[in-house]
Amino acid sequence: MNKSTIVVGGGIAGMTAAGELSRLGVEVTLVEQEQISGGHAACWDRLFPTRRPAEEVISFLREQTDSKVNTFSGRPVTEILHHESMFTATLSDGTILRGESLVLATGYDLFDASRKEEYGYGIYDNVITSAELEGWFKNHQPVRTKNGRIPSRVAFIHCVGSRDEKVGNLYCSKVCCITGVKQAIEVKEALPACDVYSFYMDLRMFDRNFEELYFEAQKNYGINFIRGRLSECSENEDHTLVVKTEDTLTGKPMKMIVDLVVLLVGFVPRSQNTQMLLKLKLITGNDGFLQPEDEHNGDNLTRIPGLFITGAVKGPVTIANAVADARATALQVYSFLHSNR
Amino acid sequence: MKDFGYQAHRDNTIDFEKNDFRIARFLLEREPSLNLCIGCGSCTGTCSTGHFTEFNIRKIHTLIKRGDTEMARKQIRQCMFCGKCQLICPRGINLRNVILGINRALEKI
Ligand SMILES: Cc1cc2nc3c(=O)[nH]c(=O)nc-3n(C[C@H](O)[C@H](O)[C@H](O)COP(=O)(O)OP(=O)(O)OC[C@H]3O[C@@H](n4cnc5c(N)ncnc54)[C@H](O)[C@@H]3O)c2cc1C
Ligand code: SF4
Ligand code: SF4
Ligand code: SF4
């Protein structure tokens, strides 16, 4: 058999790894359970910090994979076996794929915001998630309340489902801060008369041009940043919302009536694959995401030789970082396939 | 009326529906750089007045942005206008103009 690999998951990480490996001459089979590739990024409109259309990045990756990589879509991988140095991946329709190596690029789930009941998601009309707002932007849907009013105040809530012992997630989801800043700017652009507030604990502007976007949000868009975690949200009779927090920079409790609340939901491990990964005895961290063999010198390796992990399956990442990670993974896979095993 | 010995407490909450944002609007128009504050506290840390009194310039201008002007009314006159706060501010906020603006606004409003 030729040097072969199976890539499970056709999000940014999986598509990048598949494209790179195919260019290196490896016979690649890519499996994506959805009909369209791109993973979560296919649901986003414009990307932080430059606000470049997400579609641009995805179509580049599609060019690298379409017609070059053997692709199975519309069906998930439900079982992975490792036997005598071969991997078999079984799809839900019974199709069996075989390869000498396998890349897990199965990504993440969004935190289920209804678990933070005190924020009223799924109960109140005008509490939405950042992922839904991205969908509105993508579908050119105007920013309105449920009953069609133009909001005059919008509140962004940071750290929903992250940094919160109450939901069992101690980790930071990394990308929601900058997503919130980007979306606050976009709301203000769409509705210049609207006052936009961001309620945060820390603003983690860790990557290049992130802090600059935060600065721009303050300087050119007048976004109001208030340091304090949302304690609770309640609905008025007219479906506006009361948000309660502490303004920790003045040390006083604060309340405000807003028309729309946007919850910046974090990353959680993808639950559908739990059983499949348990059977492989892969190691997870306390956060539930897959743990690489060596966080510095082998961060795509697992305890099984030939099985690699890449992208958000290891925890929160940006698209740029997922691309870099997947390229590194491709090289690891390539050298594994060419080693004397 | 019978006196039961109870008193109504002053509400300590910053209430956006009740507070007065006229001074905040005046200030932000006059000195837009005020919106760049990141609450780092360098201004307060360096302020000589703040070292000897309750005066806290960061809190004063943050509260004004929340529509709460009480602290400014009580304390802004204590500022000696030395400008150290402005020299140190990492966001380049023109704090002397902010303080001047607070004084002007309080004379009028
Ligand atoms: C609201 C929000 C906005 C964001 N905006 C940006 C942004 O502007 N810029 C940026 O850099 N990042 C952004 N991100 C982060 C971005 O979504 C991630 O970096 C990226 O999606 C990670 O890609 P991935 O391929 O690792 O995972 P995923 O996108 O989760 O892709 C995994 C893929 O694997 C598939 N899959 C899973 N299990 C199976 C299985 N068993 N069989 C077959 N297929 C399977 C899934 O269907 C999915 O397509 C944002 C995140 C959020 C939450
Ligand atoms: S990136 Fe920001 S919003 Fe997201 S969890 Fe971390 S601190 Fe909270
Ligand atoms: S100008 Fe006023 S507020 Fe600023 S450091 Fe001097 S005394 Fe303090
Ligand atoms: S030094 Fe500047 S940024 Fe820091 S708290 Fe004072 S005004 Fe704000």
Is A200's pLDDT higher than 80?
A: yes
- The backbone torsions φ and ψ at residue A332, rounded to the nearest 5 degrees and listed phi first, read -60, -45
Is B11's pLDDT higher than 90?
A: no
- Partner B contacted by A212 (CB < 8 A): no
| Residues of B in Cβ contact (< 8 Å) with A201 | none
Pocket test for ligand 1, best of A156, A157, A172, A175 (most atoms within 8 A of CB): A175
Do residues A117 and A235 both lie within one domain? yes
Do residues A102 and A77 both lie within one domain? yes
Ligand 2 atom with the smallest distance to the CA of A177 is 2
Looking at A266, A284, A305, the residue that finishes a domain is A266
Do residues A187 and A203 both lie within one domain? yes
Is A252's pLDDT higher than 80?
A: yes
Inter-chain residue contact A256 with B65, CB threshold 8 Å:
no
The token duo for A137 is 């932007």
Do residues A21 and A96 both lie within one domain? yes
Do residues A117 and A254 both lie within one domain? yes
Do residues A119 and A248 both lie within one domain? yes
- In the block, tokens 């128009």 appear at B29
**Residue B14 parent element (H or E):** strand B14-15
- In the block, tokens 């579609």 appear at A55
Q: In terms of residue numbers, what domain contains A222?
A: 113-266
The token duo for A303 is 């305890």
Per CATH, the number for B22-108 is 1.10.1060.10
**DSSP structure string for A68-127:** TSEEEESS-EEEEEEETTEEEEEETTS-EEEESEEEE---EEE--GGGSGGGTBTTBTTE
CA B68 to ligand 2 center in whole angstroms: 29
> What is residue A328's predicted lDDT score, i.e. its pLDDT?
98
* Average confidence score pLDDT of chain A: 97
The more confident residue out of B109 and A74 is A74
Do residues A234 and A280 both lie within one domain? no
* Average confidence score pLDDT of chain B: 95
Looking at A266, A300, A316, the residue that finishes a domain is A266
The token duo for A201 is 């604990």
Confidence of residue A338 (pLDDT cuts 50, 70, 90): very high
Is the CB of B36 within 6 Å of ligand 3?
no
> What is residue B67's predicted lDDT score, i.e. its pLDDT?
97
Confidence of residue B2 (pLDDT cuts 50, 70, 90): confident
Do residues A76 and A177 both lie within one domain? no
> What is residue B6's predicted lDDT score, i.e. its pLDDT?
77
The C-alpha atoms of residue A222 and residue B37 are separated, in whole angstroms, by 11
Looking at A233, A266, A299, the residue that finishes a domain is A266
Q: Among candidates B66, B99, B32, which has minimal Cα distance to A256?
A: B66
Q: Residues A258-285: pLDDT tens digits?
A: 999 999 999 999 999 999 999 999 999 9
Is A1's pLDDT higher than 80?
A: no
Is the CB of B87 within 6 Å of ligand 4?
no
Alpha helices in chain B (DSSP H): 22-30, 42-46, 48-52, 57-65, 70-75, 84-88, 95-108
Task: Give the start-end residues of each E strand in chain A.
Answer: 4-8, 27-32, 46-47, 52-53, 70-73, 77-83, 86-91, 96-99, 101-104, 108-110, 127-129, 153-160, 195-200, 224-227, 232-235, 241-247, 252-258, 260-265, 267-269, 307-309
The C-alpha atoms of residue B10 and residue B24 are separated, in whole angstroms, by 22
Q: Residues A74-127: pLDDT tens digits?
A: 999 999 999 999 999 999 999 999 999 999 999 999 999 999 999 999 999 999
> What is residue B36's predicted lDDT score, i.e. its pLDDT?
98
Nearest ligand to the CA of B57 is 3
Q: Residues A273-330: pLDDT tens digits?
A: 999 999 999 999 999 999 999 999 999 999 999 999 999 999 999 999 999 999 999 9
- The backbone torsions φ and ψ at residue B107, rounded to the nearest 5 degrees and listed phi first, read -65, -35
Domain ranges of chain B: 22-108
The token duo for A278 is 């348990």
| Residues of A in Cβ contact (< 8 Å) with B61 | none
Number of domains in chain A: 2
Is A55's pLDDT higher than 80?
A: yes
Is the CB of A15 within 6 Å of ligand 2?
no
- Region A182-202: mean pLDDT is 98
Is A341's pLDDT higher than 90?
A: no
- Partner B contacted by A252 (CB < 8 A): yes
Domain at A82, CATH number: 3.50.50.60
Helix (H), strand (E) counts: chain A? 7, 20
Confidence of residue B105 (pLDDT cuts 50, 70, 90): very high
The C-alpha atoms of residue A158 and residue A181 are separated, in whole angstroms, by 10
Interface of B with A (CB under 8 A): 12-17, 28, 32-33, 35-36, 38-39, 58-59, 62-63, 65-66, 68, 91
- Region A189-197: mean pLDDT is 98
Do residues A69 and A209 both lie within one domain? no
> What is residue A289's predicted lDDT score, i.e. its pLDDT?
98
> What is residue A12's predicted lDDT score, i.e. its pLDDT?
98
**Residue B15 parent element (H or E):** strand B14-15
- Region A190-195: mean pLDDT is 98
Do residues A160 and A101 both lie within one domain? no
Is A218's pLDDT higher than 60?
A: yes
ipTM value > 0.90: yes
Do residues A62 and A133 both lie within one domain? no
> What is residue B1's predicted lDDT score, i.e. its pLDDT?
63
